[in-house]
Amino acid sequence: MDLKLKIWRQAGPTAKGQFVDYDVHNISEDASFLEMIDILNDELIEKGDDPVAFDHDCREGICGMCSMFINGHPHGPQKATTTCQLHMRKFKGGETITVEPWRAKPFPVIKDLVVDRSAFDEIIQAGGYTSATTGGVPDANAIPISKENADLAMDAAACIGCGACVAACKNASAMLFVSAKVSQFALLPQGKVEAKDRVKSMVAKMDELGFGNCTNTYACEAECPKEISITNIARMNRQFIGAKLG
Amino acid sequence: MTKIDSKIPAGPLAQKWALYKEHQNLVNPANKRKIDIIVVGTGLAGGAAAASLGELGFNVKVFCIQDSPRRAHSIAAQGGINAAKNYPNDGDTIYRLFYDTIKGGDYRAREANVYRLAEVSNNIIDQCVAQGVPFAREYSGYLANRSFGGALVSRTFYARGQTGQQLLLGAYGALSKEIKRGSVKLYTRREMLDLVISDEGKARGIIARNLLTGEVERYGAHAVLLATGGYGNVYFLSTNAMTSNGSAAWRAYKRGAWFANPCYVQIHPTCIPVHGSYQSKLTLMSESLRNDGRIWVPKKKEDAEKVQKGELRPRDIPDEDRDYYLERRYPAFGNLVPRDVASRAAKERCDAGYGVGNTGLAVFLDFKDAINRLGKDVIKARYGNLFDMYERIVDDNPYETPMMIYPAIHYSMGGLWVDYELQSNIPGLFVGGEANFSDHGANRLGASALMQGLSDGYFVLPYTMQNYLADQITVGAIPTNTPEFDAAEKAVKERIQKLMSVNGTETVDALHKRLGLIMWDYVGMARNKEGLKKAIADIQVLRKEFWGKVRVPGSTDGINIELEKALRLADFLELGELMARDALHREESAGGHFREEFQTPEGEALRNDKDFMYVGAWEYTGDDQEPRLNKEVLQYENIEVKTRNYKTA
């Protein structure tokens, strides 16, 4: 298929960016979206132009590195799918596709479609773990955990930290990301010991880094490639209030 | 030839590690603060080691190529992690895990290292549970297990089809805790481009490129740990991530570290087949699928041809016309034979003309019987995310029609040579995880990579590195203004300039694809003398072409992804040749290394223990010079060396 692309080009963090139009031809329906961009980049390199910079790594939907905002949706139109797993059969020949970086103040653009998501690392550093050090822990089967809670914890832990939730939110809120980690530990006995401090520090760090508030539009859940549920946000709010009350 | 000392402690096998720890040197808590350690890579091995060393009180600098340590390629491991817990009461022991790993590796791994791995496997599960890793559980609330290839017991712990992700996030949590505490300093979007060795011959630092600014930076430390993963991307198409590369290991090799068994690469039997020339990577379908999926091709060649043309649907082929070739050839292990065996069997059927898919290079992985037996819901609960991934990529519904799979490059058993302490032949240079050669011999069993990465990171390196560092407490901070740092930085900058100045006509990927084809055709699933000689000659020609024709646009400042790729390909073009040399010299078939000249009449691999029961550790002697081969002879004192047999229990 032939396609028209409108891609955000921005030379550096402080440079002024703009959309640039490109045409690509003879793209296979079985190609992934990133493979289509690879083909465009090969053509740009052959012409001596600067290829489009974009983040990607595993190309199997788990590393969370890819981050394109495609036709108004983070990771594009297909539900529960990262950009690298989006295939061209989801588009029509002749279509114009608009590609932008994540847009959120805490995720500044570095170049073209590459943004800085180190704010997520800082939030995890604020408390997104149990403080167990290596060694000196009990046998893995010493604490039975109900299958139901283990499954719910796994649902929350499936977050890949891509930032689609922030990009989808009109307030650039990181509540879905933070609540997924808070919930994972809130559901497990191992996480309960530090639960109060964890939720307070992570929320404080999130606010300090400039992420916005949650106003319940549910856009994050709708766009999350791993279908992380907003019930996690409700669980975090309960944890947070509980922690504040002492 | 250099005499190799692998530093295996004396004493009975089961006590070696305990004896080592009892007698090793330690660094007291106040002195640990005076010691700097560089860790390159934040996957399971690097992340776990950096966190654990930080907890002990060392100053750790940790480097990753991605924007966050959480994105290391360990994250993509699907199926599980082995441990000898014997929770299912099905007869597992530490010895049995050790035995299965040695046998799975086709008797080409070191006994003492593998025994230690099996021994600490249980600690890993305890540690991960304490970190809040949400492993699968039974209704009792206790941990669930499943089986993997090459084992008769169920010893694999898992977190749906995302075990690597969950284990990595556990290690990333531990690492984040230490970053916050200040014991670990994190450097993201950095790529190591050289190892710095002091005038005393010790590893004392690295040269790294800041991938955002293009600056070439110097970092010094008392010891360096490389946990930089495998080199599967030498084949261009593999299940590795796009930035996975062999450069850190290769740079260490060119500074004198030995590269061991480079020809041992794992070709995973269950990957989604290649579908187009624009394809950028191959996707694995977890080995866990072989618990319930049955592998087959049509029994009649005319059926296979019809399937290839799309004239016959697999579900319309009756059971009696299907060849469940793994069950036929290996009744005891059936669909759960080790990966090398399953891959070769698939190739054998496809080469004979029984393959399916439009290229004829695929076999079926069929869940029909499992769905009939257990119901769709059970299969969905076990493998739902894998089925969804398959459908997204292939646009076919595996609940209704069998998956199509074909082998693909997945893992490198070879890597930098290390001794029992995971130290290379360069003092102060340690190597962990897939980057070293140590535990898997000629073939790795499923769910053992995660085990090895975390064993090295949490439970081995924090001890062995301390043993090395004990006499470094009076050395003081390592300066980076030495002639050795000057020379290494200069060499890196010259290499970058040389690449930029070629200004040729070929893209990096176009040249990389050509290298990949040479490697796949001649250094892939089946190798022979003539093909390997041709591969060496072809790679040498391609290497010249690369340096004469590559085009790297842009500048050395700022993000330049083409430059990053060109630097990696330049190293792959040398590493590929060493792999072919190693494969050529090893005149036997062992594990992932199958030489067509050395097979039984039934097509099974034929080892030559008399002449090749050693680790081949290659030593760099100069560009365009033949490397020197050092041999570490393997001694089996606790296991009887046999021909691998998966036909009978």
**Neighboring chain A residues of B139 at a CB cutoff of 8 Å:** 147
Q: Is the pLDDT of residue A92 over 60?
A: yes
B241 with A57: Cβ contact below 8 A: yes
Helix ranges (DSSP H) in B142-183: 163-181
CA distance B376 to chain A (A): 19
3-state class (DSSP) for residue B475: coil
Mutate to test the interface with B, among A36, A56, A57, A81 (most CBs of B within 10 A): A57
Q: Is the pLDDT of residue B1 over 60?
A: no
**What is the widest separation between alpha-carbon atoms in chain B?**
76
CB atoms within 10 A of CB B256: 16
Candidate from B55, B243, B559 with C-beta closest to A57: B243
Which residues, listed in sequence order, are joined to residue B36 by a DSSP beta bridge? B59
3-state class (DSSP) for residue B320: helix
Full set of structural domains in chain B with CATH: 35-267+411-472 (3.50.50.60), 268-407 (3.90.700.10), 483-621 (1.20.58.100)
Tell me the pLDDT of chain B averaged across its residues.
96
**Neighboring chain B residues of A59 at a CB cutoff of 8 Å:** 241-242, 280-281, 283
B162 with A158: Cβ contact below 8 A: yes
pLDDT number for residue A156: 98
Contact A181, A226 (CB under 8 A): no
Which residues, listed in sequence order, are joined to residue B207 by a DSSP beta bridge? B194, B218
pLDDT number for residue B288: 87
Which band of pLDDT confidence, cut at 50, 70 and 90, is reported for residue B2?
low
B70 close to A (CB below 8 A) = yes
List, in order, residues 6 or more apart from B384 with CB less than 8 Å away: none
A116 close to B (CB below 8 A) = yes
Tally of helices (H runs) and strands (E runs) in chain B: 19, 19
Q: Is the pLDDT of residue B516 over 80?
A: yes
A45 with B559: Cβ contact below 8 A: no
Q: Which pLDDT tens digit goes with each residue over A134-156?
A: 999 999 999 999 999 999 999 99
List, in order, residues 6 or more apart from B637 with CB less than 8 Å away: B13, B111
pLDDT number for residue B148: 86
Query: Phi first, then psi: what are they for A24, rounded to 5°?
Result: -125, 145
Q: Look up residue B75 and give its two tokens.
A: 């994250």
B339 in active site: yes
pLDDT number for residue B649: 65
Contact B595, B589 (CB under 8 A): yes
**Neighboring chain B residues of A56 at a CB cutoff of 8 Å:** 242
Q: Look up residue B546 and give its two tokens.
A: 């690369």
CA distance A39 to chain B (A): 7
Which band of pLDDT confidence, cut at 50, 70 and 90, is reported for residue B602?
confident
Which residue of chain B is at minimal alpha-carbon distance from A185?
Answer: B132
If phi over 0 gives left and psi between -120 and 50 gives alpha, with beta otherwise, what is residue A80? left
Q: Which pLDDT tens digit goes with each residue over A17-32?
A: 999 999 999 999 999 9
Residues 18-47, chain A: which have Cβ within 8 Å of B? 28, 30-32, 34-35, 38-39, 42, 45-46
3-state class (DSSP) for residue B196: strand
Which residue of chain B is at minimal alpha-carbon distance from A112?
Answer: B559
Contact A173, A107 (CB under 8 A): no
B559 with A146: Cβ contact below 8 A: no
Which band of pLDDT confidence, cut at 50, 70 and 90, is reported for residue B603?
confident
Full set of structural domains in chain A with CATH: 3-110 (3.10.20.30), 118-245 (1.10.1060.10)
Question: Mean pLDDT, to the nearest integer, of B460-477?
Answer: 97
A-to-B residue pairs, Cβ atoms closer than 8 angstroms: 214
A124 with B176: Cβ contact below 8 A: yes
3-state class (DSSP) for residue B345: helix
A50 with B554: Cβ contact below 8 A: yes
3-state class (DSSP) for residue B605: strand
pLDDT number for residue B191: 98
B71 with A141: Cβ contact below 8 A: no
CB atoms within 10 A of CB B105: 28
CA distance B341 to chain A (A): 26
**Neighboring chain A residues of B568 at a CB cutoff of 8 Å:** none
Question: Mean pLDDT, to the nearest integer, of B536-551?
Answer: 98
Q: Is the pLDDT of residue B3 over 80?
A: no
Which residue of chain B is at minimal alpha-carbon distance from A155?
Answer: B134
What interface predicted TM-score (ipTM) does this complex get? 0.98
CA B433 to CA B413: how far, in whole Å? Answer: 10
A64 close to B (CB below 8 A) = yes
Identified catalytic residue from B339, B344, B581, B644: B339
pLDDT number for residue B277: 86
Which residue of chain A is at minimal alpha-carbon distance from B73?
Answer: A58
Q: What is the DSSP letter of B64?
A: -
List, in order, residues 6 or more apart from B410 with CB less than 8 Å away: B232, B238, B239, B240, B266, B267, B268, B271, B284, B339
Q: Which pLDDT tens digit goes with each residue over B453-466?
A: 999 999 999 999 99
Q: Which pLDDT tens digit goes with each residue over A46-60?
A: 998 999 999 999 999
B89 close to A (CB below 8 A) = no
CA B24 to CA B463: how far, in whole Å? Answer: 8
**% of chain B beyond a pLDDT of 70:** 100
**Neighboring chain B residues of A137 at a CB cutoff of 8 Å:** 126-127, 129-130
CA B290 to CA B408: how far, in whole Å? Answer: 16
Contact B294, B300 (CB under 8 A): no
B126 with A139: Cβ contact below 8 A: yes
**Neighboring chain B residues of A145 at a CB cutoff of 8 Å:** 137, 141
Q: Which pLDDT tens digit goes with each residue over B330-352?
A: 999 999 999 999 999 999 999 99
Mutate to test the interface with B, among A134, A154, A227 (most CBs of B within 10 A): A134
Least confident of A24-38, A124-138, B259-273, B275-289: B275-289
Place of tokens 């279908």: A227
Question: Mean pLDDT, to the nearest integer, of B519-543?
Answer: 97
Contact B533, B249 (CB under 8 A): no
Question: Mean pLDDT, to the nearest integer, of B208-234?
Answer: 98
B553 with A51: Cβ contact below 8 A: yes
CA B463 to CA B456: how far, in whole Å? Answer: 10
Question: Mean pLDDT, to the nearest integer, of A183-212?
Answer: 97
